[in-house]
């Protein structure tokens, strides 16, 4: 698995990249939505593309905002528990994380037109829809008798030294060198032949490795939508969206040398804090056709989202050797970058029987390989050529099918839904073809009267992931296989006027 070269988001593949650099994992994280908005939409697994009448329509198919018969205001709250079970070097560890959030808020102004007007209904809305959440905690540990992260740092030092490049704290190899964790190895001519871990026998390590990471954050689409209903046959809508992005990651990686009695190297610890804050902009148009009263067909297209993101990154590097103990804290980094997410399209169909319920289906497509990273401001000279090549090679097209249904019993509605998605990475970038493939199963209950409504939804999302602490050019390195389960309970209430 040499192609996997990430330490939970902050280790990077190329020796010359700054230790806070972006990579394909950032592009994948911010380009793949898994909506967690209002409870009515969540109860049918967000299959609202052809249905309409839901604030989430502003993010999936804005034409659906033309189906609101009256104006309304709604807001919601959600509780989430994300549990990750990691298997690493034969050890299994489970770590939960809890989160309270406001997944949705919406104001829809809808009104009928003049009786002779072919546009029988128009609406304007301002909505906030939670497009994704990043609350999770991961821990794993295990005994590694094949390699150590010092092998990785030695590789970096080889590259720096033999290319006459600066050796400083901007790379982990430089930090390890200044922390006396790696040593030069001299050849017969008394010149440096390569660098190696500060161990008696680097080829026979006995290292206890521990990794932990905790993250939180979200992307929330703040949308302004206009929509119209033409003769109850054709609905058209458009959205201008401003997604608000926040992401914070705190991690720790530790190694303890169990052969410290005979080696110079005793232990190391790397801590990092990464924060991204940004805002984006996208446009979206859509239509819904009603060839028959009970049948609705929809389609929408969404432009790339142009994110302007500010990143702050800090790292602490602690080394413990027989010679000394070092605490190195390089200068923190604060800078901006741009992420362009790919185009996306959605096709939808729904069968509706008024007073009884409906069945709805959405199909969404986007190609993760079309995401791009770019620099802004003082780092404008950095090209991101290698990172964008990695994105093109690693990320795969994303196909997502959402199915949902509702059965009405008086003022109550029973709901269920299922989302099936394809893998995020191409084969060869993960040890299993099903890793980073997300599935979502949902159930919901709704109550509605003349001026008030309330909905509750229960959702379980699952996926498998893979995290590799480091990579080596000459050998495979084992990683942690992660099974993630995210349980959500969402409540939305609102009133019409």
Q: Using CA atoms, how far apart are residues 458 and 409, in angstroms rounded to an integer?
A: 19
Phi, psi dihedral angles at 426 (to 5 degrees): -70, 160
Q: Is the pTM of this model over 0.75?
A: yes
Distance CA 398, CA 326 (A): 45
Average pLDDT, the chain: 90
> What per-residue confidence (pLDDT) applies to 429?
75
Q: Which two tokens stand for residue 219?
A: 């992307």
Q: Where are the domains of the chain?
A: 24-145+205-496
d(CA 351, CA 451): 26
Fold of 24-145+205-496: Porin (2.40.160)
CA 87 to chain centre: 21
- Choice among 121-130, 230-239, 393-402, 431-440 with the minimum mean pLDDT: 431-440
Torsion region of 347: left, alpha or beta (phi above 0 gives left; psi -120 to 50 gives alpha): beta
Buried b (16+ CB within 10 A) or exposed e, 55-77: bbbbbbbbbbbbbbeebbebbbe
**Cα separations (Å) of 339 from 24, 279, 410?**
11, 10, 48
CA 410 from centroid of its chain's CA atoms: 39
Long-range contacts of 425-431 (CB under 8 A, 24+ apart): 425/28, 425/394, 425/395, 425/396, 426/393, 426/394, 426/395, 426/396, 428/3, 429/3, 429/4, 429/394, 430/4, 430/466, 431/1, 431/466, 431/479, 431/481
Q: What's the pLDDT tens digit per position in 73-115?
A: 999 999 999 999 999 999 999 999 999 999 999 999 998 777 6
Q: Is the CB of residue 134 less than 8 Å from the CB of residue 97?
A: no
Is residue 106 within 8 A of residue 68, CB to CB? The reply is no
Q: Show the tokens assigned to 220.
A: 């929330």
Q: Which two tokens stand for residue 441?
A: 């199963």
Nearest by Cα to 92 from 30, 52, 139, 127: 139
pLDDT confidence of residue 168: 76
What is the model's pLDDT at position 380?
A: 56
pLDDT for res 19 = 54
Chain centroid to CA 274: 15
pLDDT in tens, 285-310: 999 999 998 999 999 999 999 999 99
Residue 37 φ then ψ, to 5° = -95, -135
CB distance 322 to 266 below 8 Å: yes
pLDDT confidence tier of residue 379, bands split at 50, 70 and 90: low
The pLDDT > 70 percentage for the chain reads: 93
Cα end-to-end distance, the chain, whole Å = 58
Beta bridge partners of 212: 139, 252
Contact 38, 492 (CB under 8 A): yes
> How far is 46 from 34, CA to CA, in rounded Å?
9
Q: Considering just the CA atoms, what is the radius of gyration of the chain in Å?
A: 26
Q: Which of 440, 448, 438, 398 is nearest to 417 (CA)?
A: 440
């Amino acid at each position: 698995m040499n192609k996997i070269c990430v330490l939970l988001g902050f280790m990077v593949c190329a020796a010359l990249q700054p230790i806070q650099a972006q990579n394909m994992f950032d592009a994948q994280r911010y380009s793949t939505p898994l909506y967690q908005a209002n409870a009515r939409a969540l109860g049918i697994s967000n299959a609202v593309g052809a249905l309409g009448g839901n604030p989430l329509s502003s993010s999936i198919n804005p034409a659906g905002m033309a189906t609101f018969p009256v104006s309304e205001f709604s807001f919601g709250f959600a509780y989430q528990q994300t549990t990750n079970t990691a298997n690493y070097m034969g050890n299994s560890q489970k770590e939960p994380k809890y989160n309270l959030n406001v997944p949705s808020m919406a104001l829809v102004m809808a009104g009928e037109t003049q009786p002779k007007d072919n546009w029988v209904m128009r609406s304007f809305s301002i909505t906030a829809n939670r497009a994704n959440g990043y609350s999770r905690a991961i821990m794993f540990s295990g005994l590694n008798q094949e390699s150590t992260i010092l092998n990785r740092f030695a590789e970096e030092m080889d590259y720096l030294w033999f290319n006459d490049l600066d050796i400083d704290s901007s790379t982990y190899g430089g930090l390890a060198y200044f922390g006396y964790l790696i040593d030069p190895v001299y050849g017969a001519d008394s010149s440096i032949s390569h660098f190696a871990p500060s161990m008696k026998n680097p080829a026979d390590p006995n290292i206890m490795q521990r990794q932990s990471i905790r993250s939180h954050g979200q992307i929330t689409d703040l949308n302004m939508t206009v929509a119209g209903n033409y003769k109850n046959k054709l609905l058209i809508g458009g959205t201008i969206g401003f997604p608000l992005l926040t992401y914070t990651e705190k991690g720790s990686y530790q190694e303890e040398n169990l052969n410290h009695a005979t080696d110079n190297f005793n232990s190391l610890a790397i801590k990092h804090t990464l924060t991204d804050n940004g805002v984006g902009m996208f446009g979206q148009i859509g239509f819904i056709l009603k060839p028959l009263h009970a049948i609705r067909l929809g389609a929408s297209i969404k432009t790339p989202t142009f994110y302007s993101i500010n990143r702050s990154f800090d790292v602490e590097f602690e080394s413990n050797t027989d010679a000394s103990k070092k605490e190195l804290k390089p200068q923190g980094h604060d800078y901006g970058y741009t992420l362009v997410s790919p185009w996306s399209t959605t096709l939808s169909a729904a069968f509706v029987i008024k007073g009884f319920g409906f069945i709805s289906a959405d199909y969404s497509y986007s190609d993760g390989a079309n995401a791009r990273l770019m620099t802004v401001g003082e780092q404008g000279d950095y090209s991101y050529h290698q990172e964008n090549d990695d994105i093109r090679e690693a990320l795969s097209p994303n196909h997502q099918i959402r199915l949902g249904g509702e059965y009405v019993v008086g003022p109550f509605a029973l709901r269920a839904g299922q989302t099936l998605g394809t893998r995020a990475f191409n084969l060869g970038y993960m040890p299993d073809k099903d890793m980073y493939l997300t599935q979502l199963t949902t159930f919901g209950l709704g109550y509605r009267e003349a001026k008030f409504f309330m909905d509750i939804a229960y959702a379980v999302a699952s996926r498998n992931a893979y995290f590799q602490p480091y990579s080596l050019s000459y050998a495979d390195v084992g990683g942690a296989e992660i099974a993630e389960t995210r349980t959500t309970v969402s409540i939305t209430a609102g009133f019409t006027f």
